[in-house]
């Protein structure tokens, strides 16, 4: 059996799908914004500012450019193969089964662990909001064991429950998922814009000096600092835009709407991120964020005396992170659905519920695992592990565009990435630079995850692949 056997793109697109097509361009744009705007603004800006200083805005721009180049490559693949599976399916077409499985395995790491990580941040904002109105959850049920030194905690109940609630929502249909996501995205965009309008007047340009106190890359107090390490951190903020391409089989006219949804969501989110970071590092001196790592926006509200905004911002943060969890879990369910349909995962994960027209069982399986992870595991180090898995997927998708242009130049493309081969090459370079900015421990953990994946592939997937029939 050939480890690098490829799928025929024409046969792939001819297969009828039992999933329901209802998504349009702005639904996809909102899906992308729902995945992007959340943790980056409400949680990671504090850590990022301490790593890069006011130059955090440059770090966000670098991460956005990396995603932009990758997004163009995703958009071209989505127009060629408008089917579920995202980078997994694209790799199957370009490089063959083994590489596709590795990418699918990486995407499980990206979506499931990212959703679990964000659910912990969601829980923190909810607990703070409830405390501010006099409602208290027992401390033991607000975080995983060992999360906070000196504080006795056992289980993160809010994180567990929000993942289960969103899993149920995704399992009962794409229309319900779309309506809830669109509504929450509109509300959180309103909150972000309100925050910008109310705080921009307090910017003190002297706080931007020095603009880049740690340069491009340096070491400070035993940790990597500078613009590149900060870009590697805040790259987590953009994770999820690629899940838009996972919705291909539920999209109307996907060859045209998918590229627009991917690129629109990236552009809107990048403008908001850069604007927010410039304001936040302009209102207070960046070392102040050391006291506000879990909720950096509160540093700005405290400095400006606009405490009345706190509850509104907390609600916006909760909604923002809710949509991130929703899109991550949605992408996860569609990846496992695609891999099951190809025989690389058991049929259980690909069974479509006739009533809801969703991969019901697979959605609940990974939803429950993600909920348990959010409740039990200290996830402080997992965002970097998610980042390296995603950057690997971006690298292979970008390389796949060059390979497909070379091997199948006459294939119909509803959208063509401009500047090929320079666009995918720049995407690969940016991805490798960001990977280099991660800690070596992250590389080791990622290697262990890949070894586990290869055990699954050679132990089950290779024998059960539908490609064996061909």
pLDDT of residue 425: 92
Whether residue 183 is predicted with pLDDT greater than 70 in this model: the reply is yes
Q: Region 199-222: what's the mean pLDDT?
A: 84
How far is C-alpha 303 from the chain's CA centre? Answer: 31
Contact 131, 47 (CB under 8 A): no
Whether residue 49 is predicted with pLDDT greater than 60 in this model: the reply is yes
Q: What is the 3-state secondary structure (H, E, C) of the chain?
A: CCCCCCCCHHHHHHCCCCCCCCECHHHHHHHHHHHHCCHHHHHHHHHHHHHHHHHHHHHHHHHHHHHHHHHHHHHHHHHHCCCCCHHHHHHHHHCCHHHHHHHHHHHHHHHHHHHHHHHHHHHHHHHHHHHHCCCCCCHHHECCCCCCCCCCCCCEHHHHHHHHHHHHHHHCCHHHHHHHHHHHHHHHHHHHHHHHHHHHHHCCHHHHCCCCCCCCCEEECCEEECHHHHHHHHHHHHCCHHHHHHHHHHECCHHHHHHHHHHHHHHHHHHHHHHHHHHHHHHCCHHHHHHCCCCCHHHHHHHHCCCCHHHHHHHHHHHHHHHHHHHHHHHHHHHHHHHHHCCCCCHHHHCCCCCCCCCHHHHHHHHHHHHHHHHHCCCCCHHHHHHHHHHHHHHHHHHHHHHHHHHCCCCCCCCCCCCCCHHHHHHHHHHHHHHHCCCHHHHHHHHHHHHHHHHHHHHHHHHHCHHHCC
The more confidently predicted of residues 66 and 84 is: 66
pLDDT of residue 74: 80
pLDDT of residue 13: 59
User: Could you tell me the residue ranges of all domains in the chain?
Assistant: 9-468
How far, in Å, CA of 188 to CA of 277, rounded? Answer: 17
How far, in Å, CA of 197 to CA of 191, rounded? Answer: 10
CB atoms within 10 A of CB 286: 23
pLDDT of residue 249: 65
pLDDT of residue 26: 78
CB atoms within 10 A of CB 410: 5
How far, in Å, CA of 308 to CA of 316, rounded? Answer: 14
Q: Quick check: bond before 332 cis, omega within 30?
A: no
pLDDT of residue 29: 83
pLDDT of residue 34: 75
The more confidently predicted of residues 439 and 279 is: 279
The CATH code of the domain at 9-468 is 1.20.1740.10
pLDDT of residue 72: 82
Residue 16: band (very low, low, confident or very high) from pLDDT cuts 50, 70, 90: very low
Q: Please measure the distance between the N-terminal and C-terminal CA atoms of the chain and give it in whole angstroms.
A: 11
Q: Which of 268, 207, 210, 275 is nearest to 57 (CA)?
A: 275
Cα-based angle 111, 364, 351 (whole degrees, multiple of 5): 100
pLDDT of residue 174: 60
The more confidently predicted of residues 316 and 461 is: 461
CB atoms within 10 A of CB 451: 9
Q: Which of 181, 160, 159, 157 is nearest to 170 (CA)?
A: 181
Stretch among 142-156, 366-380, 416-430 having the lowest mean pLDDT: 142-156
φ, ψ for residue 84, nearest 5 deg: -65, 155
Q: Which residues contact 451 (CB under 8 A, 6 or more apart)?
A: none
Q: Which residues contact 366 (CB under 8 A, 6 or more apart)?
A: 108, 112, 329, 332, 333, 336
How far, in Å, CA of 180 to CA of 187, rounded? Answer: 11
Stretch among 89-103, 140-154, 217-231, 412-426 having the lowest mean pLDDT: 140-154
How far, in Å, CA of 269 to CA of 264, rounded? Answer: 9
pLDDT per position as a tens digit, 232-274: 878 877 776 676 766 666 677 776 777 788 788 888 888 988 9
CB atoms within 10 A of CB 176: 15
Whether residue 323 is predicted with pLDDT greater than 50 in this model: the reply is yes
- Please, is 240 exposed, middle or buried when counting C-beta atoms within 10 Å of its C-beta (0-12, 13-18, 19+)? buried
Residue labelled with tokens 């395995």: 105
Contact 344, 457 (CB under 8 A): yes
pLDDT per position as a tens digit, 112-150: 877 888 888 788 778 877 877 778 888 787 777 666 666
Whether residue 389 is predicted with pLDDT greater than 90 in this model: the reply is no
How far, in Å, CA of 181 to CA of 367, rounded? Answer: 17
* 357 Rama class: left (phi>0) / alpha (psi -120 to 50) / beta: left
């Amino acid at each position: 059996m050939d480890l690098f056997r490829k799928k025929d793109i024409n046969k792939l697109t001819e297969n009828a799908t039992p999933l329901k097509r209802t998504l349009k361009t702005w639904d996809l744009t909102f899906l992308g914004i729902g995945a992007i705007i959340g943790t980056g603004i409400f949680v990671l800006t504090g850590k990022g500012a301490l790593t890069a200083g006011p130059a955090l805005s440059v770090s966000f721009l670098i991460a956005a450019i990396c995603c932009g180049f990758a997004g163009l490559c995703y958009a071209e693949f989505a127009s060629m193969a408008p089917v579920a599976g995202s980078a997994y399916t694209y790799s199957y077409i370009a490089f063959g089964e083994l590489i596709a499985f590795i990418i699918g395995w990486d995407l499980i790491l990206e979506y499931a662990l990212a959703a679990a990580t964000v659910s912990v941040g969601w829980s923190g904002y909810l607990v703070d909001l409830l405390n501010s109105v006099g409602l208290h959850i027992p401390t033991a049920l607000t975080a995983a064991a060992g999360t906070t030194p000196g504080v006795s905690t056992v289980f993160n109940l809010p994180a567990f429950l929000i993942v289960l609630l969103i899993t149920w929502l995704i399992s009962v249909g794409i229309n319900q998922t779309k309506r809830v996501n669109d509504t929450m995205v509109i509300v959180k965009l309103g909150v972000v814009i309100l925050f910008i309008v109310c705080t921009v007047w307090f910017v003190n340009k002297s706080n931007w000096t020095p603009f880049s106190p740690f340069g491009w890359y340096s070491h400070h107090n035993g940790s990597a600092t500078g613009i590149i390490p900060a870009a590697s951190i805040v790259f987590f903020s953009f994770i999820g835009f690629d899940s838009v391409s996972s919705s291909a089989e539920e999209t109307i006219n996907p060859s045209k709407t998918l590229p627009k949804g991917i690129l629109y969501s990236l552009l809107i989110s990048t403008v908001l991120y850069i604007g927010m970071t410039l304001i936040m590092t302009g209102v207070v001196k960046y070392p102040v964020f050391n006291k506000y790592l879990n909720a950096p926006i509160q540093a700005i509200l405290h400095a400006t005396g606009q405490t009345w905004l706190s509850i509104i911002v907390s609600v916006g943060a909760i909604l923002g992170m809710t949509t991130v969890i929703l899109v991550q879990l949605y992408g996860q369910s569609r990846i496992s659905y695609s891999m099951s349909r190809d025989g690389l995962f058991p049929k259980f994960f690909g069974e479509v519920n006739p009533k809801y027209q969703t991969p019901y069982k697979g959605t609940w399986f990974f939803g429950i695992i993600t909920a348990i992870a959010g409740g039990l595991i200290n996830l402080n180090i997992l965002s970097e592990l998610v980042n390296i898995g995603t950057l690997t997927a971006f690298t292979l998708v970008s390389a796949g565009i060059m390979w497909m242009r070379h091997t199948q130049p006459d294939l119909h493309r509803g959208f063509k990435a401009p500047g090929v081969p320079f666009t995918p090459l720049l995407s690969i370079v940016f991805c490798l630079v960001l990977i280099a900015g991660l800690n070596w421990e992250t590389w080791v953990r990622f290697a262990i995850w890949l070894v586990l994946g290869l055990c699954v592939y050679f132990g089950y997937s290779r024998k059960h692949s539908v490609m064996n029939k061909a």
